[in-house]
Structure 1
């Protein structure tokens, strides 16, 4: 009897990627969830036999992952994620107890960051609310570049900026789509050669780390209640509660479309996170300069960049602020630029265009 593991089907690949938990953070300065999830998805979709990823293959983030597929008696597939870091807390990680962001109903202390975030929230709240149908998709077009490393070269190397588009089901009932580097990758469901859902898994159980537009609509618009929900639902994840809350909000800002009042609440919630500062000049992946709201953790500064005049969200950037095992101070670890957001009737089309 052959001991070679049976190869999973494309539908199994997509379902496994959807069900994978967000890995705990060790030995990396900050979390770049979307890049890691996309890389895992690509590795599952490869036509090679299931095995640990080769050591020379670049992987997103500083922590390296090995993906091992194991056939089960019933023909299902188990996936093991193995890290090459020792177990235990990340050096320099925050204690896993959130610092109280302030008394409910009480505005945070006035600092350059809280004042800027309050202005940004005011602009966001003033935008008109969209009418969005359940059968539509949120579309976001971006320019992105992520860092990767290999076993042979532990220093993070920033990728060349490239285009990226996502289509996310408004109510989570249908698969979304990622278009990047010439590939079209179904998100939370498989598509056939004609682009029709084969296994319409969708996103029936959205979370803060994998939201839908309808999920975002349901979030509290009171910033204290919203921040408490973020701390509660991300407890035990990431490098520490405050950084995890900051990164979670950043993920929602970068590649989603939230109702105006929810967007405003997210900015006001961020103002209540300890350690948030302002960077006077930051540059996104499209070369646009702006002012940034930032937070430093484990030697890396995560920046949300905004247009100075309109206060529109431009993109994100990660920058090392001290020499580490992964790179030198001043090195950019990740950069993104949001080029457009909108609503479409189907995947693969841009807002206002068909096909």
Structure 2
């Protein structure tokens, strides 16, 4: 099911009750898998389509697999995150989410405030977890494989490009493709405020519009966390805007900080996270030296059963529902260029 079909369903069924964050996380992971993995026969898919606004940047861009290799080992130089070579500021150790946001803002202030031309492209290279036991939203086994994808998005929002079977494919984007929720097309991202409070107010407005009114505080906070992560996932963002996103995250109730973490490629980082519904840990991983976004992960911290009319969804403690990382992001002059 595409992001637009979900939106259509939501608009036609405003009385439908939103599903819990675990169901949203499963559907988001399924959408990522269906957008990135090689075509496969679908088993009995238990889709919880009454969730609102689960479109990902991956779906909007039409990401296609460029390689599928065994998971494990240290990344090569090509897997260095964008901005890794920048000289970081010598700041005191980060102790919490607010410190991280402040440090990122200080770092951003040292960088040139340049904006890309409309005819330039945002390039992103990402990796997503897969399992040798299969996947379909949540992984059916350990995340022992990875899928690497590359995409380009024209800064004016008119075109996107992917590598498909070794060939570059460029296509025009329709208004419908850019109209999912949350929006993540590049013109929209560049229009976002770079003040943390103003940005969070904007995100909360998006959440309220998705729900046709203000949801309860917990659901509102959880969805705002999801939306900001989607903003960062597949684009080369201006440093000040990225810092504002960390500042907005720090203001969301329930957001916590962990100083030691590793992303999908084993790169060391720090984590901003929330616990949803008491069992699901939603994580955003950040490079502690450059403050670049590194990736996301959804992992169950306890057993849980999500009950629905289409059957129960069982989640076991330690089960990873979705996992991905941003390997490189840059502004380039043409599709196919990798910075």
Give the one of 12, 28, 31 matched to 2:25: 31
Deviation at 1:215, TM superposition (A): 1.8
SS state at 1:322 partner? coil
Superposed, 1:208-223 pairs within 5 Å as 209-223=182-196
Sort the Cα spacing of 1:114 and 1:156 in 2 relative to 1 into closer, same or farther, 3 A: farther
Within 2, Cα distance between the matches of 1:163 and 1:222?
A: 33
Contact 1:280/1:291 (8 A) holds in 2: yes
Within 2, Cα distance between the matches of 1:163 and 1:221?
A: 30
Deviation at 1:289, TM superposition (A): 2.0
SS state at 1:234 partner? helix
Give the one of 105, 108, 123 matched to 1:124: 108
Give the one of 110, 126, 131 matched to 1:142: 126
- Is 1:350 paired with 2:329? no
Sort the Cα spacing of 1:179 and 1:38 in 2 relative to 1 into closer, same or farther, 3 A: farther
Structure of greater Rg: 1
Sort the Cα spacing of 1:127 and 1:208 in 2 relative to 1 into closer, same or farther, 3 A: farther
Within 1, Cα distance between the matches of 2:32 and 2:51?
A: 26
Q: Which runs of 5+ in 2 are unaligned?
A: 11-17, 53-93, 306-313
SS state at 1:220 partner? coil
Give the one of 173, 176, 179 matched to 2:158: 173
Higher helix fraction (1 or 2): 2
Sort the Cα spacing of 1:46 and 1:309 in 2 relative to 1 into closer, same or farther, 3 A: closer
Sort the Cα spacing of 1:35 and 1:264 in 2 relative to 1 into closer, same or farther, 3 A: same
Q: Which runs of 5+ in 1 are unaligned?
A: 1-15, 66-81, 90-109, 185-193
Contact 2:122/2:332 (8 A) holds in 1: yes
1:73 corresponds in structure 2 to: none
Give the one of 19, 33, 47 matched to 2:4: 19
Within 1, Cα distance between the matches of 2:262 and 2:40?
A: 38
Within 2, Cα distance between the matches of 1:314 and 1:42?
A: 18
- Is 1:329 paired with 2:317? yes
1:95 corresponds in structure 2 to: none
Superposed, 1:1-355 pairs within 5 Å as 17=2, 19-22=4-7, 26=19, 29=22, 30-31=24-25, 35-39=29-33, 53-55=42-44, 64-65=46-47, 83=49, 112-145=96-129, 156-159=140-143, 160-174=145-159, 176-179=160-163, 182=165, 195=169, 197=171, 201=174, 205=178, 209-235=182-208, 236-237=210-211, 240-298=219-277, 299-325=279-305, 326-347=314-335, 349-352=336-339
Contact 1:31/1:247 (8 A) holds in 2: no
Deviation at 1:46, TM superposition (A): 6.8
SS state at 1:350 partner? coil
Give the TM-score, by structure 2 length: 0.66
The number of residues matched between the two structures is 271
